[in-house]
């Protein structure tokens, strides 16, 4: 029986830059950062396992994955192109106060595609990470959990 989601993958263009963005701009916490196997940079089978989590939610980790991880060179290039043009969505991130979080993240240099606006499901603002992945920052209605 499946009991919960523990990891989700976000493909990034540069893991060092993504690590800095998620930690310094979004305020996430580092969970793991180590090499798995040998020869990743030389095209071997190894890769860098880099995970971050929202503060207070260590049981859900975002794998900030190089586009080459688990993909053929051809597929990795196609994936990289999709990430670079912002064709992939990273998900929905919850905020207690969307307006305040929007202000704080904007001051840290996060680029938003839309300001907080009322939607049928709550208040939402949309931003992209440093690789181009789109995220919804949402404050749900009081009746939602």
Q: How many domains does the chain have?
A: 1
- The answer to whether the beta carbons of residues 51 and 63 sit under 8 Å apart is yes
The CATH number given to whatever domain includes residue 14 is 3.10.180.10
Task: Examine residue 145 and state whether it is found in any structural domain, yes or no.
Answer: no
Task: Examine residue 40 and state whether it is found in any structural domain, yes or no.
Answer: yes
- Give pLDDT < 50 ranges for the chain: 144-145
CA 4, 93, 104, 30 dihedral sign is positive
What digits encode the pLDDT tens for the residues 95-118? 999 999 999 999 999 999 999 999
Q: Is 56 left (phi over 0), alpha (psi -120 to 50) or beta?
A: left
Residue 54 domain boundaries: 7-140
Task: Examine residue 122 and state whether it is found in any structural domain, yes or no.
Answer: yes
Task: Examine residue 75 and state whether it is found in any structural domain, yes or no.
Answer: yes
Q: Is the pTM of this model over 0.85?
A: yes
- Predicted pLDDT at 44: 55
- Predicted pLDDT at 105: 98
């Amino acid at each position: 029986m499946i009991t919960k989601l523990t990891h989700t993958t976000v493909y990034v263009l540069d893991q060092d830059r993504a690590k800095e963005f998620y930690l310094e701009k979004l305020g996430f916490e580092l969970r793991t950062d180590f090499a798995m196997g040998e020869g990743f940079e030389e095209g071997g089978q190894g890769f860098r396992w880099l995970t971050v989590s929202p503060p207070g939610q260590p049981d859900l980790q975002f794998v900030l994955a190089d586009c080459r991880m688990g993909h053929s060179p051809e597929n990795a290039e196609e994936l990289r192109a999709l990430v670079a043009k912002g064709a992939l969505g990273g998900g929905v991130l919850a905020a207690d106060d969307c307006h305040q979080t929007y202000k704080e993240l904007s001051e840290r240099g996060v680029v938003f595609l839309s300001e907080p606006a009322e939607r049928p499901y709550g208040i939402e603002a949309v931003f992209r990470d440093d690789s181009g992945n789109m995220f919804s920052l949402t404050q749900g209605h009081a009746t939602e959990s």
